Amino acid sequence: MSDLIKYSIELSINSSVNILYKRLSTPSGLEEWFADNVNLKDNVFTFFWDGSEQSAKLLKKKTNKFIQFKWLDDEYKDSYFEFNIQVDEMTSDVSIVITDFAEDNDEKEEQILLWEQQIENLKRAIGS
């Protein structure tokens, strides 16, 4: 089994940190842009899309800073996906840094496109 490729993408988002964090860390917030439906039980978020579902365990979080998840069906023990909120000290511009893993460069490129589309959905949900 090959090693995973860790990558991060940073996208600016016109939002307050508090509003953004709620969209990243709560079932109702995630339903606005990430999945059709989201359930939370015992730190496990279950995401539903068009008849399919996938669950992720909440690994770590720090209010208004970051949240980190691990897909439960992921065979790689060291992989996760994370939303990290960055605020530029000079301009106060807010951005989101997404960290994820891919098996190869083709998958990485596909995932980056998917994340970019998801963040566009997030921006629309926030009114950004």
Give the pLDDT band (50/70/90) at residue 75. Answer: confident
Predicted TM-score (pTM) of the model is: 0.91
Q: Where are the domains of the chain?
A: 5-26+58-126
Give the pLDDT band (50/70/90) at residue 1. Answer: very low
CATH 3.30.530.20 fits 5-26+58-126, yes or no: yes
Compute the C-alpha angle 112/80/53, nearest 5°: 80
Encode pLDDT of 37-46 as tens digits: 999 999 999 9
19 neighbors 126 (Cβ within 8 angstroms): yes
